[in-house]
Every structure is written in structure tokens, then in C-alpha cells.
Amino acid sequence: MELAGVLNYLVGFFIMVGIYGIFSLGLNVQWGFTGLFNAGIAGFFALGAYTTALLTTPAPDAAQVEDFIFGGNLAGLPYLDWGIDFWFILSLAAVALVCGIVAYAVGRLTLRLSGDYLAIATLGIAEAVRLMFLNEKWIANGSKGLYRIPEFLGDLVSPANYDYLFLVVVLVVLALLYLAVQRVVNSPWGRVLRAIREDEVAAQSSGKDVYSFKLQAFILGGIIMGIGGALYAHHVRFISPITFDPLLATFVIWAMLMVGGSGNNRGALLGAFVVWGIWSGTQFLPWFFADPNFRFFMIGVLIVGVILIRPGGILGETRRVSRVVGASSHTPVKEGGNPKE
């Protein structure tokens, strides 16, 4: 019993690490490789979670319905039920589309201006998205939120063991995204992104359409974050505007990337593990260390501390050699000391 409890806890823990790993990966595409400051991850998180929830949740019976309309019941539609829960893929595609469009719109407006504009605009978008879901009850039930969000492949196992299955789902999605991101950031495309991060004017004088690359990176990052949000919704199965408080939906993710090492995808994942470990581990500590407000404070200190003491994070960026196609031929020479921040 004792062991089963620990195991259950660990499974839950790693599901969250996996989901936050996805956010961290998305942020790495934007900040770590391209130098785009997204201060409103929560916006993409919420869009992803709400999009999938609205598309897949069955409509509630009349007694429960107050004044909101559900968008769809993808999971319950018979012609999509091919025994393999195909709706899940479809829903993720929709999430990608929605987040991609929003990222495109924000990027169009701000990416030609200096970096701070993007930060402020994303901050605003996150708040606007939250306000919309909070106030427009007809969209998503306002502050009461959406519940009974369906489980992917939920009929394969008993509800008690579902978390084991979902951990596998999260890890598979994470692995796919990791490989996909790893491949592009090590490709010439990623090379251009890093060039933009280092010196925009020089990248331009090398004939690169800086704006277009920034836009692509911002959209890709936004889509990945949206997918993270979708997985979160199917894991927790209940979302409301409170879920997307900037602390757990934006700041923690920043702390993860900065701690793990921005510009390094393995660092992004390591950071998710370390910071989530600290976050969920401290609740077992005695006295005020368990106080969520103390943890809140520590997240801020952690971000400032990393910037001050070890700007590269734990892993830091690895030096790449010239042959950079695919993951197999990519071998870091050695951990490079950064010449300059």
C-alpha cells in the first residue's frame, strides 16, 4: 500500500514534469534559440487547454447547463471512434492551429519592434485570454470552468490505473516534440535562429529575412506550448481561469528554462524536472518552507539568482560542430565556456 502510494505519487509527478517539459521546450524555441521574450506563456497554455476541452468534452445534461454552449463533442462522435481515439490527434491539430494563429497575430504586431514590446504584448494577450474565458460564460462556463474532459485511450485501462497510461502518452508526445525540435534547431533553420539571437543586424546582412524567421520560431514555440496545455487539460480533466494564473503557467516555466539552461533542449527538460521537484518537494518540508507563498518567492529568487550567478543555467549551451544534420551526426565538441553573455 505504502509502495503503491509512492508509485502513484511518482507517476503523477512525472506526468507534470513531462507536461512542463513541453512548455519549457516551447519556450526554449522562442527564448533559448531566438531570444524572444514571451512573458505570457499562460495565454498559450490556456488556449491549448480550452481548445481541446471545448472540442472534446461531451455536452452536459440540461440540468447542469446554465448559460454556456459547448463547441463540440469530438470524443463522442461515432464516425471518429475507430477504436483508437483518433479524436485526440485531431484535437491536438486544432490546438496547434489556434495557438499558431494567435502567435502569428502577436508576432506580426510586435516582432519588428524591440524585444520588450513582445514581452508586454504577450503579457497582455495572456490576460486578455484569461479575461475572455472568465467573463464569457457562454464560451466556457466562466469561473466554474470545464470539467469531465475526456481521457485519451481511457477505455483501455481501469480509471485507477489510468495515470500509468497517461504518463506513457505524455512521454511519447514529449519525445516526439523533443526529437522534432532537436532536429530543427540543429538544422540550418536553427542556425539562423541562433544567429538572430546573437546579432540581428549581422543576420540581416547575411541575407536572412530576420522577421520571418522570428515569426516562425514564435509560432512554433506557441504551438508547442498549446500542446502542453492540451495535455494538461486531459490530465487534470478540469480547467478554469484560475488554472492559468501567471505563477504556475508562466513564471515557473521561465524558472525551469533558466535553471536548466536556455539554448539547450536537454537543459529545458532537466530544468522542468529540477524546478518541479523543488516545487512539489518543498510541500513535504516542515514549517514555512511548505508555505506556497514561500515557494512563490523562491521562484522569483531562482530566476534572478540564475541570471546573476550562472546565466547559462545548469547545462548551458553546447557548442555545435559544422555537420549538424539530424541528431545522429550531431556531437557536441565540449561544453563551451561562453565568451560573453
Using CB under 8 A as the binding rule, the residues of this chain from 81 to 110 that contact other proteins are 109-110
Binders of other proteins among residues 232 to 271 (CB under 8 A) are 246-247, 251, 254
Return the number of the residue (163 or 317) whose C-beta is nearest other proteins.
317
Give the C-alpha distances (Å, rounded to integers) separating 144 from 64, 135, 199: 11, 11, 47
Return the number of the residue (119 or 314) whose C-beta is nearest other proteins.
119
Q: Which stretch binds other proteins (CB under 8 A): 43-51, 57-65, 94-102, 117-125?
A: 117-125
Does 333 participate in binding other proteins (rule CB under 8 A)? yes
For residue 157, give every residue at least 6 positions away whose Cβ sits within 8 Å of its Cβ, in sequence order, or none: 164, 165
- Determine the Cα–Cα distance for residues 100 and 120; give it in Å rounded to an integer: 19
Return the number of the residue (235 or 295) whose C-beta is nearest other proteins.
295
Which of 174, 225, 303, 315 is in the footprint of other proteins by CB under 8 A?
303
Q: How many CA atoms lie within 13 A of 200 on its CB side?
A: 13
How big, in percent rounded to 5, are the helix, strand and coil portions of the chain? 70, 0, 30
Give the C-alpha distances (Å, rounded to integers) separating 202 from 64, 192, 196, 339, 341: 59, 11, 8, 18, 17
Does 121 participate in binding other proteins (rule CB under 8 A)? yes
Q: Which stretch binds other proteins (CB under 8 A): 50-58, 85-93, 189-197, 230-238?
A: 189-197
Does 323 participate in binding other proteins (rule CB under 8 A)? yes
Does 38 participate in binding other proteins (rule CB under 8 A)? no
Binders of other proteins among residues 39 to 58 (CB under 8 A) are 39
How far apart are CB 218 and other proteins at their closest, in Å?
Answer: 12
Does 317 participate in binding other proteins (rule CB under 8 A)? yes
Which of 195, 223, 227, 230 is in the footprint of other proteins by CB under 8 A?
195
Nearest of 178, 189, 180, 185 to residue 32 by alpha carbon: 185
Return the number of the residue (21 or 190) whose C-beta is nearest other proteins.
190
How far apart are CB 199 and other proteins at their closest, in Å?
Answer: 5
- Determine the Cα–Cα distance for residues 287 and 295; give it in Å rounded to an integer: 12
With both helix axes pointing from N to C terminus, report the angle between 162-185 and 188-198 in degrees, rounded to the nearest 10: 80
Residues binding other proteins: what is the number (CB under 8 A)?
84
Task: Decide if 91 contacts 227 (C-beta within 8 A).
Answer: no
For 161, the grid coordinates are 490505473
Binders of other proteins among residues 128 to 187 (CB under 8 A) are 128, 131-132, 134-135, 180, 183-184, 186-187
Task: Decide if 91 contacts 10 (C-beta within 8 A).
Answer: no
- Determine the Cα–Cα distance for residues 150 and 171; give it in Å rounded to an integer: 19
Q: How many residues in the chain?
A: 341
How far apart are CB 134 and other proteins at their closest, in Å?
Answer: 7
Q: Which stretch binds other proteins (CB under 8 A): 32-40, 165-173, 229-237, 270-278?
A: 32-40
Which of 144, 208, 237, 266 is in the footprint of other proteins by CB under 8 A?
208
For residue 310, give every residue at least 6 positions away whose Cβ sits within 8 Å of its Cβ, in sequence order, or none: none
Does 204 participate in binding other proteins (rule CB under 8 A)? yes
Which of 307, 310, 331, 335 is in the footprint of other proteins by CB under 8 A?
307
- Determine the Cα–Cα distance for residues 31 and 28; give it in Å rounded to an integer: 5
For 309, the grid coordinates are 550567478
Q: Which stretch binds other proteins (CB under 8 A): 48-56, 91-99, 227-235, 291-299?
A: 291-299
